[in-house]
Amino acid sequence: MPNNKRLIVISAPSGGGKSVVSRYLLSKYPKSRFSISATTRQMRPGEANGKDYFFLSHDEFKSRIDKGDLVEFEEIFGNFYGTLKSEIEKAMNDGSILLFDIDVKGAFSIKKAFPEDSLLIFLAPKSIEVLEERLRGRGTETEEQIKKRLARSEMEIKLAKDFDYIVVNDLLEDTFKKMDEIMEKHVQ
């Protein structure tokens, strides 16, 4: 795989550690910035439009789909999530490394649209039991939501084999070390 990847895509099941690993990479690699996704889900306390997500109505999101403004999108648990082409174009124009925290299907769409610039990294849980423990520990989902997320995680883990790298996220220090090795190999 050639060096100089500009689009670093991190995927994992819900509770897999994408946010923690993304924050680490953003703090360590000054040329990197976070790709802000668009979504139709409700804003959570502490979130800000344009910082955490671009919060759009269902109608506005569908209009963006129709206009071809999204590189990838998917409906997950009743809400749409997607990546605006304009975000990728900005990063490509200003020399940034764009870091994505998106689902597996979105990762494949990014790779298909930008095959030479994309690097896909899957964060795998040590086990489904550990993943369930993390989800329950967050205290942000209902029992029904946890069951849906765990069912989806099985599909996501099966697709991990098609990623450039699989990193088992067990001990955070080891995960960070492996992420650094990958970044040093592919990002300059």
Work out the mean pLDDT of the chain and round it to a whole number: 90
Number of domains in the chain: 1
The pLDDT of residue 2 is: 45
What pTM was estimated for this model as a whole? 0.84
From the number of C-beta atoms within 10 Å of its C-beta (0-12, 13-18, 19+), residue 97 rates as: buried
Task: Give the pLDDT mean for 19-35.
Answer: 93
- Residue 1 inside a domain? The answer is no
Q: What is the pLDDT of residues 88-104, one digit of tens each?
A: 999 989 989 999 988 89
Q: Kindly state the average pLDDT of the residues 161-188.
A: 94
**What's the CATH code of the domain at 11?**
3.40.50.300
Q: Give the model confidence (pLDDT) of 28-47 as tens digits.
A: 999 999 999 999 999 988 99
Give the domain range for residue 46. 7-186
pLDDT single digits (tens) 141-160: 788 887 887 888 888 889 99
Residue 8: what pLDDT?
Answer: 97
Q: In the structure, what pLDDT confidence band is assigned to residue 1 with cuts at 50, 70 and 90?
A: very low
Q: Is residue 2 part of a domain?
A: no
Give 148 or 82, the one with higher predicted confidence: 82
pLDDT (0 to 100) of residue 3? 67
Residue 166: inside a domain, yes or no? yes
